[in-house]
Amino acid sequence: MAPEAQLRPAAAVLLAGLLFGGAGWVNGDAAVYAAQAVEGDLAQRTVHLGWIAVASMVAAVSGEGGGWLLDVVHAAFGAGAVVAVVRIQGQEAAGWLAAAAVLPIAAFAEVDLPWIALLLAGLAGSGGWTAMCVALAVSVSPVALLAVPWAACRGQPRWVVGGASLAVVTLSAYSGGDWWLGDRGVLMGPAPLIGRTLAAWAANVAPVAVAVGVLGMSWRTALLLPLLLAPPDVATWGLIGCALVAEGPARPWSLGLRVLVAGQLGLSTGALVATHRSVRADTRLVEKTAADMGPDEGLIAPWTWGVRVSLAATGDPYGLPWMPPTGPVRDQERWCDDPPSSHRALHAADDLAWCAHRTRVEP
């Protein structure tokens, strides 16, 4: 296959980062990862150590939390995922369908697309390369472990399992066990919400799945079902879409296939534009709220909003007097002991009833 057959769809994904990056943080997690990267803090979120390390390098270059440049680096991971799918499946059409699978999230830096890209890159290679890429994928997010059954069956089991095992042992030792049992550890996360995860798959993968269904798919994709155990806000559907494409048989570039691929790309581009608008609107709201906060004013907001407003106002996710409506995180119980003189609510009910119960909630 000509090199340009791999590079054209990958370049389209990278272009998405160049054009749509810099809109702001897609959620509170992304904002906090970037803030920790600026501080060089590689200890708090060891479950995402690999991504925070990447973001730290970007912050060293940009002098800030990354912003547009981190979004572009994130899109480069998406481009790498597309190249990997083309190398696995062997057809340019697969690259364009893979691009359609990752485009909706390509321009908004988070941990999901990097681990997906690294896992696919491992399957596109062999031997030590496979082990290294799988290990790095697990270092970016432990959710990658849920895809190991499929990856081991699809690639080289010894190297896939070896790379995943190496990552688990190394991260466990580095964190002193916090990777498993810390307040953000693998075993301390939220309970699976399989129904909501299935709904996210249906909303985001269905178009690509229909296209791939026309082309044909392998039974091995059933080995991706463990990903249902991931939280519903994790974009596991990006890997599902790429895996469906990678498992499909090669087909000639017929007119019908071209129309099908163009339709998928149109849907994904629309989703990308809609997300970009939503993130920009969220960023404006965060910045306005931070600017309007008085010196003795507090904020009641869900975690994803509270940390972003606090970062915008103080540079610290917990620097502003704020709390989630469900109860305090970390040392926010101080609000109950010394409440601010006034407060406002953002995307939350103005309710402080939980102060009487002193219920501690960890994110």
- Number of H helices and E strands in the chain, helices first, is 15, 3
Amino acid 175: pLDDT: 94
Q: How confident is the model at residue 359 (pLDDT cuts 50, 70, 90)?
A: very low
Alpha-carbon span 121 to 113, nearest angstrom: 12
Q: SS3 for 349?
A: coil
Tokens representing 53 are 């390390």
Q: pLDDT at residue 143 above 70?
A: yes
CB 224 within 8 A of CB 198: no
For the chain, what are the domain ranges? 3-277, 294-356
Q: How many residues does the chain have?
A: 363
CB 17 within 8 A of CB 72: yes
Closest CA to 49 of 107, 117, 116, 114: 114
CB 343 within 8 A of CB 297: yes
Q: pLDDT tens digits, residue range 202-227?
A: 888 877 776 666 556 677 888 999 99
Amino acid 5: pLDDT: 66
Residue at token pair 């975690």: 303
Alpha-carbon span 300 to 72, nearest angstrom: 33
Q: How confident is the model at residue 249 (pLDDT cuts 50, 70, 90)?
A: confident
Q: pLDDT tens digits, residue range 69-97?
A: 999 999 999 999 999 999 998 888 889 98
Amino acid 153: pLDDT: 93
Alpha-carbon span 106 to 108, nearest angstrom: 6
Amino acid 333: pLDDT: 73
Name the percent of the chain lying above pLDDT 70.
91
Q: What is the DSSP letter of 190?
A: P
The residue type of 258 is: R
Q: How confident is the model at residue 294 (pLDDT cuts 50, 70, 90)?
A: confident
Q: pLDDT at residue 98 above 80?
A: yes
Residue at token pair 């321009």: 107
